[in-house]
Chain A
Amino acid sequence: MIALRDVFKRLGDRQILAGLSLNVPKGTNFVLMGPSGTGKSVTLKHVIGILKPDSGSVRVDGQEVPTMDHDQLMALRRRMGYLFQNGALINWLSVEDNVALPLKEHGRLPKGELQDRVMEVLRLVGMDHAAKQFPPSISGGMKLRAGLARALVTKPECVLYDEPNAGLDPIISQQIHELIKEVRDTLGVTGLIVTHSRACATICGDHIGILEHGKLAVEGTVDEMVHSEHPLAKAFLGGGAD
């Protein structure tokens, strides 16, 4: 579903990506780990077309993202969801209006159906009780869950998760991990997950790749990576990690 080949990207005077290649098959979760500043979030932004590579290929469903025109890019984004680190909810909209925003903007559903769909995803993430609340009055975990509901409301084929458990306590983190797993298992959604968390990687992931110096230093299935002798795999996924 998502395929990057030899992607290079320089931002300012820093070479962020230096020949990154990865492949995310349909219906699986690929976890991208690595030290801070190695280009994990930059990779997600290439997939959704916010950034263009200096060279290399970024394909989603066989379509080359960097060469898409505006309309093609809009169409692609409608098929994808993106969960930002802090949920990135719009502060002046209630939780339900935040979740309804992509549906309202693209006029996909009649009002009644739209409301039903919004409540359905809010129930899925356990946020239906907070539908009328506004972002400043809810916790970080609730913001993330609302952000996830907004990413899922359009029934995307693929969701990009940018540090879905950053700053959360272990209990809320566990809930978020279970949700991400459930989204893959029940809805068949493909996921590309950026995280530093061992628990997130092992619970949610099918494949794990670790970035270093702008490309994957090591990758494999969860089981292979947990037992890998590679120093980075040990650092991120060994017994003392997380």
Chain B
Amino acid sequence: MNVLAIVGSNLVTRVNDAGYVMDLLLRTAMAVRYVPRRLRFTLDMAFNAGVRALPVTMVVAAFAGAILAMQTGIELRRFGDTTVLGTITALSMCREMGPFITGVILAATVGSSMAAEIGTMKVSDEVAVLEVMSVDPVNYLVLPRVIALAIMCPTLTVLSNLIGIYGGSVIAENNLAVSNELFWNSAREALTSSGTLLPKEVYVGLLKALLFGIAIAIVSCAAGLRASGGALGVGLAVQTAVRNSVILIIVLGFIVTWFFYFLAG
């Protein structure tokens, strides 16, 4: 009975949390018309997010690309066909690895900092101050952060893709005897062969990055806005923000891939 009560109570808390995040997302969407008014703050936020996450993203992307090329190359060498290594590395980076790596790093660096900033404001009555001054905290605090990450996550993903493919090319040439020219030609062919402006792999990856950026910002702001109880509450808000962002990145990544490659063909 006690176990049931605990499970039930946890379930109710999770549903409440999810409801709050969805409500915040809707209120943010309805505040989008105020973006021009918040432009300067939004650009500041985007710049800070980019600067904070760029070095880590680049290092992780380079090694992820290298590992991808290494693991794939080992198997391809057994079958005697390493010529498609560039294709596989480029498509994997653009479709999955680039957005995933960027999302996780943004959640850890920028999302955590958003939750801490807003959480600290919440526990020190700064959010209440906005409310009593008739300033909507969603419009003032959440909207610029969501737009900033919606811009920066795809931007960093593009860089992440390029650096990842480059990391793969270094391994391909030095460890798998695939020349740089062959690797890059194969990668370029894979990314330009479709009839559309951008190949499906690229735009699906960028769509994922856009969704990840919005999800990280909303989840992190929601955690901050629900913080209570001083420093301990802010710490819990940061933990919640990073944990929920990573879970959402994986779930959203799966849903988008499933939709574009299985449902919509």
Complex interface: chain A residues within 8 A of B125 (CB) = 84-86, 88
Q: Does A113 contact B (CB under 8 A)?
A: no
Q: Of the 9-residue stretches A1-9, A14-22, A99-107, A180-188, which lies at the interface with chain B?
A: A99-107
Q: In the complex, what distance in Å separates the CA atom of A105 from the CA atom of B126?
A: 15
Q: Are A101 and B133 interface neighbours, CB within 8 A?
A: yes
Q: Does B10 contact A (CB under 8 A)?
A: no
Q: Total number of A-B contacts with CB less than 8 angstroms?
A: 43
Q: Of all chain B residues, which has the CB nearest A92?
A: B117
Q: Does B232 contact A (CB under 8 A)?
A: no
Q: Are A102 and B124 interface neighbours, CB within 8 A?
A: no
Q: Contact size class for B? A: 10 to 19
Q: Are A84 and B134 interface neighbours, CB within 8 A?
A: no
For window 211-244 of B, CB contacts with A under 8 Å fall at: none
Q: Does B135 contact A (CB under 8 A)?
A: yes
Given contacts A88-B124, A88-B125, A48 and B133 within 8 Å (CB-CB):
no
Q: In the complex, what distance in Å separates the CA atom of A201 from the CA atom of B213?
A: 51
Which of A82, A88, A106 is most buried by chain B, counting CB atoms within 10 A of its CB?
Answer: A88
Q: Are B124 and A105 interface neighbours, CB within 8 A?
A: no
Q: Does A50 contact B (CB under 8 A)?
A: yes
Tell me the count of chain A residues lying within 8 A, CB to CB, of chain B. Answer: 20
For window 143-169 of A, CB contacts with B under 8 Å fall at: 150
Q: In the complex, what distance in Å separates the CA atom of A128 from the CA atom of B67?
A: 59
For window 189-226 of A, CB contacts with B under 8 Å fall at: none
Q: Are A88 and B126 interface neighbours, CB within 8 A?
A: yes
Complex interface: chain B residues within 8 A of A101 (CB) = 133, 135
Complex interface: chain A residues within 8 A of B22 (CB) = none
Q: Of the 9-residue stretches A59-67, A72-80, A228-236, which lies at the interface with chain B?
A: A72-80
For window 108-127 of B, CB contacts with A under 8 Å fall at: 121, 124-126
Complex interface: chain A residues within 8 A of B140 (CB) = 105
Given contacts A86-B124, A90-B121, A105 and B129 within 8 Å (CB-CB):
no
Q: In the complex, what distance in Å separates the CA atom of A209 from the CA atom of B98?
A: 63
**B14-43 interface bits toward A, Cβ cutoff 8 Å, 1 = contact, 0 = none:** 000000000000000000000000000000
Q: Of all chain B residues, which has the CB nearest A90?
A: B126
Q: How far is the CB of A58 from chain B (nearest CB, A)?
A: 15
Q: In the complex, what distance in Å separates the CA atom of A75 from the CA atom of B134?
A: 8
Q: Are A105 and B128 interface neighbours, CB within 8 A?
A: no
Q: Are B126 and A102 interface neighbours, CB within 8 A?
A: no
Q: How far is the CB of B203 from chain A (nearest CB, A)?
A: 36
For window 147-168 of B, CB contacts with A under 8 Å fall at: none
Which of B126, B133, B140 is most buried by chain A, counting CB atoms within 10 A of its CB?
Answer: B133
Q: Are A88 and B133 interface neighbours, CB within 8 A?
A: no
Q: In the complex, what distance in Å separates the CA atom of A20 from the CA atom of B121?
A: 30
Q: Are A105 and B132 interface neighbours, CB within 8 A?
A: no
Q: Are A50 and B131 interface neighbours, CB within 8 A?
A: yes
**A37-54 interface bits toward B, Cβ cutoff 8 Å, 1 = contact, 0 = none:** 000000000001010000
Task: Please report A residues at the B interface, Cβ cutoff 8 Å.
Answer: 48, 50, 74-75, 77-78, 80, 82, 84-86, 88-91, 101-102, 105-106, 150
5 contacts between A and B (CB under 8 A): A48-B132, A84-B128, A88-B124, A102-B133, A106-B134
